[in-house]
Structure 1
Amino acid sequence: MSILVFGSTGQVATELRRQAPEATFLSRADADLSDPDACAAAIAAHKPDVVINAAAYTAVDRAEEEEALATTVNGDAPAAMARACADLGVPFLHVSTDYVFDGTGTDPWQVGDPVAPLGAYGRSKLVGEEGVRAAGGAHAILRTSWVFSAHGNNFVKTMLRLSETRDALNVVEDQIGGPTPAADIAATLLAMSAKMRAGQGGGTYHYGGAPATSWAGFAREIFTRAGRDVTVTGIPTKDYPTPAARPLNSQMDGSTLRTDFGIDPPDWRAGLDAVLRDLTV
């Protein structure tokens, strides 16, 4: 099975490269997502069996000032990819986000719950979801949350960096979600790809780490497992203002992914241990 991956250096793309080195990976130089037509042309030229989009505009705060660009990258490009895949008759897998929801309530989000993004990033990702569905081909949209790995910029690496010079930190405690290892997202995408190539599954799915925790709880676990003596004080979101609003509730119900593909939520604590080993802390 030939797999074409958009993205080469991001967290999920890096893990896909580790797990499927035989796949073809397109960097920004190969296919710039700010040029949706070029992305579609790349698919037509490669003629793969499966396409995975692991590239995105992920600067949540900057998106408030660059919504047009974010929408092109996160919305128009995936839609163009999905149409190209539909023309070839091959499955298209696309990574989306909990940010399509408004974060209200306390129950995990179901796939069919109403979407209501709080900011530009979430709106741009929702445009992508709608475009992928509208293309009419075999597709899977995988909404995930709080991605972390040993690569790129993420919460784990930020906490470890801060712990080098500080022994106490204030971290938001009223945002609840599931930290999700990029390695598990990659493995899930590959497993889904194989089954979708065989005609199984398709639609929108949720994939978030378990058990649910807060950012403060996540930080405490990072420091404990890394052997760092750092005191974490939980604070409310209002005490840590950001240009873009964050969902308070990012819990994701993964029951449809289990039903269609037999995939359960990952234990983020095991994933954290693996990341810490990678970072040799």
Structure 2
Amino acid sequence: MKLLVTGVKGQLGYDVVREGESRGLEMFGTDVDNMDITDAGQVKQVIEDYKPDALIHCAAYTAVDAAEDNQELCRKINVDGTRNIAEVCKTMDIPMMYFSTDYIFNGQGENFWKEDDEKQPLNVYGQTKYEGELAVQELVQKHFILRISWVFGVNGNNFIKTMLRLGKERGAVGVVSDQIGSPTYTYDLARLVIDMIQTDKYGAYHVTNDGLCSWYEFACEIFRQAGLDVKVTPLTTAEYPAKAARPFNSRMSKEKLINAGFKMLPEWQDALRRYLEILQ
């Protein structure tokens, strides 16, 4: 099977290519240097030349706070870039996988979000990822949409790396305690991605590691497992002002994933343990 993966230099794209290669699949990773997704002509040329059996679209603008000041660039990458890829996948009848986010929901209440619940993005990043979803749904009949949250991987920056750095530098951190969700380890996610892309079980799914926590609880567990003595102070969202609004409730139902016969990702604490072993 030949797979084209965008955003190969990012956390997820990097792990997806490695996972595919480890299973003997023919993987072709692209990034802005060899396929600028905002350039429709270049996208068409690269995909037509490679002729993949499926396309896994990991490239995205993910700087959530910066997106508030760079709306045009964020939209160009997350919406226009996604549409450029979807147009070619439609023409060539190539299955496409797109990654979205918990940020497409309004983040209120305590219920688990289901795939078809109303979309009310809270910020520019969430809005553009939702518009990307709509482009994929509109153009590509054979599509997968995977909504993920709190992503961490070896290749790139993330919350865990930030906490470890700040913890060592300062010995104390303040972390938001009233936003609840599930971390997602790109290594575990990549294994599911390669499983899923080889099926025809198209549609939207919620995929994260198993279990829930607040960012505060996540930070406490990071320091506990890393063996670092760091004072962690719980903060409310109001006490930790950020440019982009964040959801309080990022609980996402995995029922559809289970019903489709896919294997759930391991518990987030286990994912964190394995991740720290690699970092250390």
TM-score above 0.5, yes or no: yes
In structure 1, C-alpha distance between the alignment counterparts of 2:111 and 2:131, rounded to whole Å: 25
Deviations 1:82-134 (A, max 9, x none): 22112222210011111111101111110010000011101110110000000
Bigger Cα displacement from structure 2, 36-45 vs 84-93: 36-45
1:217 aligns with 2:217: yes
Offset at residue 231 of structure 1 (A): 1.8
Bigger Cα displacement from structure 2, 36-45 vs 19-28: 36-45
Deviations 1:231-269 (A, max 9, x none): 211110011101101111111111111222423143111
TM-score, normalising length: structure 1: 0.95
Alignment of 1:146-185 (within 5 A): 146-185=150-189
SS of the aligned residue for 1:249 comes to: coil
In structure 1, C-alpha distance between the alignment counterparts of 2:119 and 2:201, rounded to whole Å: 22
Aligned partner letter, 2:182: G
**2:50 pairs with one of 30, 46, 52:** 46
Corresponding residue number in structure 1 for 2:90 = 86
SS of the aligned residue for 1:28 comes to: coil
Offset at residue 59 of structure 1 (A): 0.7
SS of the aligned residue for 1:51 comes to: strand
Alignment of 1:189-204 (within 5 A): 189-195=193-199, 200-204=200-204
Which 4+ residue blocks in structure 1 deviate beyond 3 angstroms?
Answer: none
Alignment of 1:99-248 (within 5 A): 99-195=103-199, 200-248=200-248
**2:73 pairs with one of 66, 69, 75:** 69
SS of the aligned residue for 2:137 comes to: helix
Offset at residue 29 of structure 1 (A): 0.9
> Once superposed, what is the RMSD of the aligned Cα atoms?
1.2
Bigger Cα displacement from structure 2, 14-23 vs 172-181: 14-23
Bigger Cα displacement from structure 2, 16-25 vs 166-175: 16-25
Corresponding residue number in structure 1 for 2:279 = 279
Closer, same or farther in 2 for the Cα pair 1:36/1:174, shift >3 Å? Answer: farther
Offset at residue 35 of structure 1 (A): 2.1
Corresponding residue number in structure 1 for 2:37 = 33
In structure 1, C-alpha distance between the alignment counterparts of 2:229 and 2:155, rounded to whole Å: 23
Corresponding residue number in structure 2 for 1:58 = 62
Structure 2 unmatched ranges of 5 or more: none
Offset at residue 65 of structure 1 (A): 1.3
Q: Report if aligned partners of 2:38, 2:84 keep a CA contact under 8 Å in 1.
A: no
Deviations 1:147-188 (A, max 9, x none): 012221100000000111222211000000001101111111
Bigger Cα displacement from structure 2, 263-272 vs 139-148: 263-272
Deviations 1:166-222 (A, max 9, x none): 222110000000011011111111111111xxxx21111101222110000000000
Q: Report if aligned partners of 2:37, 2:84 keep a CA contact under 8 Å in 1.
A: no
SS of the aligned residue for 1:266 comes to: strand
In structure 1, C-alpha distance between the alignment counterparts of 2:48 and 2:266, rounded to whole Å: 34
Q: Report if aligned partners of 2:5, 2:17 keep a CA contact under 8 Å in 1.
A: no
Corresponding residue number in structure 1 for 2:253 = 253
Structure 1 unmatched ranges of 5 or more: none
SS of the aligned residue for 2:83 comes to: helix
Closer, same or farther in 2 for the Cα pair 1:242/1:57, shift >3 Å? Answer: same
In the alignment of these two chains, the number of paired residues is: 276
Q: Report if aligned partners of 1:82, 1:139 keep a CA contact under 8 Å in 2.
A: no
